[in-house]
Amino acid sequence: MTDRQWNDLLEIIDGRIFSPLPSGFIIDSPWLPGWNGETILDYFTSDAVWFGSNKKAVETFPGCLFLPGFWSEYGMCSEPSAFGSVPVFTKDGFPHAKPCMQSIEEADHLRTPDPATDGLAPFMLNRLRKHDRKLEAIGHRIRFSVSRGPLNIAAHLLGTSEFLMAMKMDPERTHRLLRTVTDYLSGWHRLQASSFPHIDGMLVLDDIIGFIGADDFREFGMPYFRELFSRDVRVRFLHNDARCEASLPFLPDLEINLFNMAFDTRLDDLKDATQNRIVMLGNIPPRDVLASGSPEDVKKAVRHLIGNLKDRSRVILSCGGGMPPGVSTANVRAFLEAVREFT
Q: Is the peptide bond before 20 cis (omega within 30 degrees of 0)?
A: yes
Does the pLDDT of residue 243 top 90, yes or no? no
Using alpha carbons only, how large is the chain's radius of gyration in Å?
19
Instruction: Tell me the average pLDDT across 206-211.
Output: 96
Check whether residue 299 and residue 221 sit in a common domain. no
Strand runs (DSSP E) across 14-143, as ranges?
Answer: 24-26, 65-67, 87-88, 96-97
3-class DSSP state for residue 184? Answer: helix
- pLDDT tens profile 246-278: 999 999 999 999 999 999 999 999 999 999 999
Check whether residue 194 and residue 112 sit in a common domain. yes
Note whether residue 82 is domain-resident: yes
Check whether residue 26 and residue 149 sit in a common domain. no
**Domain extent for 143:** 74-260
CATH number of domain containing 122: 3.20.20.210
Check whether residue 22 and residue 100 sit in a common domain. no
Check whether residue 173 and residue 222 sit in a common domain. yes
3-class DSSP state for residue 74? Answer: strand
Note whether residue 271 is domain-resident: no
Note whether residue 224 is domain-resident: yes
Check whether residue 106 and residue 190 sit in a common domain. yes
Check whether residue 82 and residue 187 sit in a common domain. yes
Does the pLDDT of residue 343 top 90, yes or no? no
For residue 157, which of 212, 97, 115, 230 has the smallest C-alpha distance? 97
E strand or H helix at 120, and its extent? none
Check whether residue 86 and residue 57 sit in a common domain. no
Check whether residue 145 and residue 218 sit in a common domain. yes
- pLDDT tens profile 109-143: 999 999 999 999 999 999 999 999 999 999 999 99
Give how many domains the chain has, as a whole number: 2
CA distances from 146 to 121, 188, 194, 210, 237 (A): 11, 9, 13, 20, 9
| φ, ψ at 56 (rounded to 5°) | -60, -40
Check whether residue 84 and residue 46 sit in a common domain. no
Check whether residue 60 and residue 82 sit in a common domain. no
Check whether residue 256 and residue 285 sit in a common domain. no
Note whether residue 267 is domain-resident: no
The predicted model scores a pTM of 0.97
Note whether residue 266 is domain-resident: no
